[in-house]
Amino acid sequence: MKAVPGRSGRVALLEAENAKLRKINQALMGRVERSMDLQGNDFSLFETAILLEGRVNDRTSALKYALEEQQRLNAALEEAKSQADEANLSKTRFLAAASHDILQPLNAARLFLSALADGDHAPETSRLIGRVDAAFESVERLLGALLDISKLDAGVVRPAISSVDLGGLLRTAVNEFEPVAQSKGIKLRSVPVRCTVRTDGHLLMRVVRNFLSNAIRYTRNGTVLLGCRRRQGHVRIEVYDTGAGMPPDKLEEIFEEFRRLVGAAEDFERGSGLGLAIVRRIAQMLNHPLSVRSTLGAGSCFAVEVPVVAWRAKDAKPKASQQPDSDILKNRRILVIENEPSILDAMAIVLGRWGCRVTGATSLGDAEAALGQEPVVPHAIVADYHLDDGADGLTAINIMRSRFKLKIPGVVVTADRTAEVRRAVDLHGCVLLNKPMRPARLRSLLTHLLTAHEAELG
Please tell me the predicted confidence (pLDDT) of residue 127.
77
Contacts of 416 (CB under 8 A, 6+ apart): 96, 100, 385, 386
Q: Residues 205, 169: contact at Cβ < 8 Å?
A: yes
Q: What residue ranges define each of the domains in the chain, with the CATH number in brackets?
A: 164-312 (3.30.565.10), 333-457 (3.40.50.2300)
Rg (CA), the chain: 41
Q: Residues 384, 377: contact at Cβ < 8 Å?
A: no
Q: What are the percentages of helix, strand and coil residues in the chain, rounded to 5?
A: 60, 15, 25
Please provide residue 372's backbone torsions phi and psi, each rounded to the nearest 5 degrees. -65, -35
> What is the C-alpha separation between 304 and 199, in angstroms, rounded?
12
Conformation bin of residue 429: beta by default, left when phi > 0, alpha when psi is -120 to 50: left
Please tell me the predicted confidence (pLDDT) of residue 126.
75
Please provide residue 327's backbone torsions phi and psi, each rounded to the nearest 5 degrees. -100, 10
CA angle 173, 423, 344 (to 5 degrees): 75
Q: Residues 313, 298: contact at Cβ < 8 Å?
A: no
Q: Residues 417, 144: contact at Cβ < 8 Å?
A: yes
Q: Per the omega criterion (within 30 degrees of 0), is the bond before 436 cis?
A: yes
CA distances 64 to 50, 51, 60, Å, are 21, 20, 6
Helix 123-154 × helix 7-117 angle, to 10°? 160
Please tell me the predicted confidence (pLDDT) of residue 208.
92
Environment class of residue 268 by beta-carbon count within 10 Å: exposed (0-12), middle (13-18) or buried (19+)? middle
Please tell me the predicted confidence (pLDDT) of residue 374.
60
CA angle 435, 437, 442 (to 5 degrees): 135
Beta bridge partners of 311: 195
Please tell me the predicted confidence (pLDDT) of residue 25.
62
DSSP secondary structure string, 171-238?
Answer: HHHHHHHHHHHHHTTEEEEE----EEEEE-HHHHHHHHHHHHHHHHHT-SSEEEEEEEEEETTEEEEE
Where the chain has pLDDT below 50, the residues are 1-2, 4, 262-268, 316-324
> What is the C-alpha separation between 446 and 452, in angstroms, rounded?
10
CA distances 447 to 175, 409, 452, Å, are 10, 11, 9
Contacts of 294 (CB under 8 A, 6+ apart): 245, 246, 247, 248, 251, 300, 301
> What is the C-alpha separation between 418 and 421, in angstroms, rounded?
6
> What is the C-alpha separation between 132 and 123, in angstroms, rounded?
14
pTM for this structure?
0.58
Please tell me the predicted confidence (pLDDT) of residue 115.
73
Contacts of 421 (CB under 8 A, 6+ apart): 385, 412, 414, 432
CA 156, chain centre distance (Å): 9
Three-state secondary structure call for residue 263: coil
Neighbours of 303 (CB within 10 A): 19
